[in-house]
């Protein structure tokens, strides 16, 4: 039986990054992946002849981002789309008020100013919050101080609730008061017209990736690790486990001996949210061509409040909306037909009969996916930013963890997955790995293969 230097569990962005770095350093590496594909929560569906990103879509802020530098070095095209973080303004947004009426320029400017002011108060309330305070607590205190009328307070409350649902996949009352601290966006946001999964696929090209290998056991000892997948044992000096937090929470992977409190504590305390996507394609555009997003308050926006125009990717009129938090979980139980009917009814409440019958749709159910058990991690009440990084271990110097949930600075992102994979590789090699050289080596290998 081959003994590997390092086993990587999971072929998502974090797993591909660490495996590639270790293999480039001369290590014998095997990647064990439960799915029949690479990419994990970066999942591009190309069955219709154009890419549909069912998992991640955005780089949330390209300024000073090593992830952006990597996409540039690999020559991956992007489209500017700076609304991926539930901004209230900054780009053209078609806003509808609580009565389903389109806001004019003056009403939109007032709405943006009111939310900005409430946000300013919210930052103060977060700074003075006590341990155990929820995001709902601090929101209510900020709104109390805002001096706005009751109707406007209701609308801003709704906006804050939806922001938490989209950014964290969680109910506002379950999120810690500090749960959006790491949410600042530096610079433009971008999406990927060729599909985001190009990134992990190109990083992972040529690696020894064993697909359809679901890991069920990881045992460690002074002499290394034994990882069990599909009844087969793989041995190595070390292992990097990159499965999502949701999977770790289920206990479906048996760790022997059991994980110490330093790692099992964060697994228990951190939250795994649900955030699902619904793409609806139409024969023609009925919304304003210049709008980045359509946003509805009140009854029309109760389930489906934000619609992102992603037509530029397919060349066909396409809106993307999200079902997140408690509604995201409930939606997963509905049939595709019911989901599409409900979402189109919400659009008709705004645009009336101008909304034609859709021609195609794509719906995700990440909370029911046994290789993810949710969409991304968040700071549930009772957890702390430290929990994210503590989750990385290592345990007994042989068991490392990587993945978005192990990166406290900007969890729940592709960047977090990339940086945590980089960190695990550096820890195992005991030396820095230069990111520019990493990207150059990928390009060089591709050029050699092309010749």
Q: Is there binding between residue 20 and ligand FAD (CB under 6 A)? A: no
Shortest spacing between CB 291 and ligand FAD, in angstroms: 19
* Residue carrying structure tokens 């042989």: 398
Q: Which of 31, 46, 70 is nearest to 433 (CA)?
A: 70
Q: Which is nearer to ligand FAD, 103 or 402 (CB)?
A: 402
Q: How far apart are CA 334 and CA 340, in angstroms?
A: 10
Give helix 66-73 / helix 414-429 axis angle, nearest 10°: 90
Q: How far apart are CA 117 and CA 146, in angstroms?
A: 8
Q: Which of 11, 2, 3, 5 is nearest to 241 (CA)?
A: 11
List the beta strands (DSSP E) in 69-214.
79-80, 93-96, 190-191, 209-210
224-258 as b/e, with b when 16 or more CB fall inside 10 Å? bbbbbbeeeebebbbbbbbbbbbbbbeeebebeee
Shortest spacing between CB 23 and ligand FAD, in angstroms: 17
Stretch that binds ligand FAD, among 92-100, 290-298, 363-371, 442-450 (CB under 6 A): 363-371
* Interface residue with ligand FAD, options 58, 282, 307, 308 (CB under 6 A): 58
- Give the torsion sign (CA, 183, 189, 194, 200): negative
The tokens for 389 are 């990084």
Task: State which of positions 404-423 bind ligand FAD (CB under 6 A).
Answer: 404, 412-417
Q: Is residue 378 helix, strand or coil? A: strand
* Interface residue with ligand FAD, options 19, 23, 32, 272 (CB under 6 A): 32
Shortest spacing between CB 256 and ligand FAD, in angstroms: 15
Stretch that binds ligand FAD, among 37-45, 155-163, 220-228, 349-357 (CB under 6 A): 37-45
The contact mask relative to ligand FAD for 156-195 (x = CB under 6 A, - = no) is ----------------------------------------
Q: How far apart are CA 276 and CA 271, in angstroms?
A: 16
Q: Is there binding between residue 271 and ligand FAD (CB under 6 A)? A: no
Q: Is there binding between residue 214 and ligand FAD (CB under 6 A)? A: yes
Q: Which is nearer to ligand FAD, 358 or 415 (CB)?
A: 415
Shortest spacing between CB 9 and ligand FAD, in angstroms: 5
373 within 8 A of 249, measured Cβ to Cβ: yes
Where do contacts with ligand FAD occur on this chain (CB under 6 A)? Answer: 9-15, 32-35, 40-42, 55-58, 60, 84, 214-215, 242-244, 247, 253, 275, 277, 364, 366, 371-372, 375-376, 403-404, 412-417
């Amino acid at each position: 039986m081959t003994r590997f230097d390092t086993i990587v569990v999971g072929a998502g962005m974090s797993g591909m990054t660490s495996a590639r770095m270790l293999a480039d350093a001369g290590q014998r590496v095997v990647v064990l992946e439960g799915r029949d594909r690479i990419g994990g929560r970066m999942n591009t569906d190309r069955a219709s002849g154009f890419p549909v990103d069912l998992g991640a879509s955005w780089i949330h802020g390209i300024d000073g981002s090593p992830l952006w530098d990597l996409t540039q070095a690999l020559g991956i095209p992007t489209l500017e789309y700076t609304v991926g973080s539930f901004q209230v303004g900054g780009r053209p947004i078609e806003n509808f008020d609580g009565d389903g009426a389109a806001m004019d320029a003056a009403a939109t400017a007032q709405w943006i100013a009111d939310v900005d002011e409430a946000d300013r108060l919210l930052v103060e309330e977060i700074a003075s919050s006590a341990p155990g305070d929820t995001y709902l607590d601090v929101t209510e205190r900020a709104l109390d101080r805002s001096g706005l009328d009751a109707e406007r307070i209701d609308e801003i409350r709704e906006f804050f609730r939806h922001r938490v649902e989209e950014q964290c996949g969680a109910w506002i009352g379950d999120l810690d008061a500090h749960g959006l601290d790491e949410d600042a966006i530096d610079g433009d946001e971008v999406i990927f017209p060729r599909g985001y999964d190009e990134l992990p696929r190109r990083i992972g090209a040529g690696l020894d990736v064993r697909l359809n290998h679901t890991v069920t056991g990881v045992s460690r000892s002074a002499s290394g690790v034994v990882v069990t997948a599909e009844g087969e044992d793989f041995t190595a000096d070390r292992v990097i486990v990159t499965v999502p937090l949701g999977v770790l929470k289920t206990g479906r992977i048996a760790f022997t001996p059991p994980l110490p409190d330093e790692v099992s504590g964060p697994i228990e305390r951190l939250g795994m949210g649900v955030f699902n996507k619904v793409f609806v394609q139409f024969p023609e555009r009925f919304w304003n061509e210049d709008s980045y997003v359509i946003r509805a308050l009140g009854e029309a926006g109760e389930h489906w409040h934000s619609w992102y125009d992603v037509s530029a990717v397919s060349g066909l009129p396409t809106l993307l909306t999200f079902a997140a938090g408690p509604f995201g979980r409930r939606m997963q139980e509905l049939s595709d037909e019911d989901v599409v009917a409900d979402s189109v009814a919400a659009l008709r409440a705004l645009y009336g009969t101008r909304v034609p019958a859709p021609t195609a749709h794509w719906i995700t159910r990440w909370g029911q996916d046994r290789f993810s058990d949710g969409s991304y991690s968040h700071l549930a009440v009772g957890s702390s930013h430290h929990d994210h990084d503590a989750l990385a271990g290592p345990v007994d110097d042989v068991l490392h963890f990587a993945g978005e949930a192990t990166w406290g600075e900007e969890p729940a992102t592709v960047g977090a997955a990339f940086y945590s994979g980089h960190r695990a590789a550096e820890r195992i090699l005991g030396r820095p790995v230069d990111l520019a050289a990493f990207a150059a080596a990928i390009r060089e290998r591709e050029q050699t293969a092309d010749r």
